[in-house]
Amino acid sequence: MNQTITIRQPDDWHIHLRDGAVMETAVPATAAVFARAIAMPNLQPPVINAADAMAYYQRIKSCVPAGSNFEPLMTLYLTDATTPEMIVAAKEAGVVKACKLYPANATTNSAHGVTDVGRLSETFAAMEEQGILLLVHGEVTESHIDVFDREKEFIDRHMTKIVAANPNLKIVFEHITTSDAAAFVQSSSANVAATITPQHLMYNRNDLLVGGVKPHNYCLPVLKRNTHQQKLQEVVATGSEKFFLGTDSAPHLKSAKESSCGCAGCYSAPAALELYAHIFDDLGCIDKLEGFASLHGPAFYGLPINEKTITLVKEPWQMPEQVQVGDESIVPFYAGQTLNWKVKA
């Protein structure tokens, strides 16, 4: 008889839903499993104010399948020009839960990002006062800094200062990839937490580079060495409330990934929960999945736990090789490979 587990319905605390035809594919894939998702604001142009957030919220909602309870949680894209007044207006809009700090040019569509974190002290103070969380893409962007060292450099240069200067501001260190980041979060106050993606738990940089470059495993922050991967596995296995599910699912068309300059992002939405169940089971900590996926995130964001439940069955199945988007396709993360858990319809 197949093994089953039933957990509270999970949420995705870091996801890219894009816009247009890609959004029409990504939103139903996410809504099929997750009750809520923190929608990243790095569109073209970015979501920088309350009006942008409300408009994007409506576009996402228009793609939610009938009968689904899925609710997008909106974020603002911080720029050097983000003011305290913009934070107050975002809070009053009612749909904005957080602001995303992208160092300028750190990742996809981040050219408008922050060039000087120190200039945002008044904005951070307003976020603290309004209960708006700060979500941080923690990498420096100078070209002379080794790409594998950029997360640690950001911690040393910026993250320690942001946390020290804003002790009452809730901060999520997004998609952490290193033992340095995990240790930083563990040693920080209860107001600092982190999301961890399926790819950074399941893969290391060998899975990107050995035997030829695997463009569909290329993401930012980039996959790190196996010792960092093992540290991330260790912290989720502890069941610590400081770590929770954030897929960083980032759909890109196959043509954009398989090019002379392939873009960064792994599209995990078609089987996000199954990917986590697969690795948690491999690590012998499947009992910690509910906390990571369904409990720790709402607690940190100050939101209620979802009432509904979802059941997974231990049953091998194969991730599709591609997902159709109009006349083009997206290659999902773990494409063509066998997963050991399946969400029960």
Which residues are annotated as part of the binding site for substrate?
A: 16-18, 42, 137, 220, 252, 264
Q: How far apart are CA 61 and CA 216, in angstroms?
A: 28
* Active-site residue (options: 180, 248, 281, 287): 248
Q: Could you tell me the two tokens for 21? A: 């035809």
User: Is the pTM for the entire model greater than 0.95?
Assistant: yes
pLDDT of 109 reads 65
Q: Is the pLDDT of residue 1 over 80?
A: no
Is 248 annotated as catalytic?
yes
Q: What is the mean pLDDT of residues 245-259?
A: 97
Pair of tokens at residue 233: 């596995």
* pLDDT for the residue numbered 118: 86
Q: Is the peptide bond before 215 cis (omega within 30 degrees of 0)?
A: no
Tell me what the mean pLDDT of segment 2-11 comes to.
95
How far apart are alpha carbons 280 and 239 in whole angstroms?
Answer: 11
* Least-confidence region, from 37-41, 291-295, 306-310, 323-327: 323-327
The answer to whether residue 332 scores a pLDDT higher than 90 is yes
Q: Place 125 in a pLDDT band, splitting at 50, 70 and 90.
A: very high
Check residue 110 and give its pLDDT: 66
Q: Which residue positions form the known binding site?
A: 14, 16-18, 42, 100, 137, 175, 220, 248, 252, 264
The band of 236, judged by pLDDT with boundaries at 50, 70 and 90, is very high
Report the topology of domain 11-302. Answer: TIM Barrel (3.20.20)
Tokens of 345: 């319809």
Convert the pLDDT of each residue in 16-54 to its tens digit: 999 999 999 999 999 999 999 999 999 999 999 999 999
The whole-angstrom separation of Cα 199 and Cα 247 is: 8
Over residues 186-207, the mean pLDDT reads: 98
Question: C-alpha angle with apex 60: 57 to 66, nearest 5 degrees?
Answer: 120
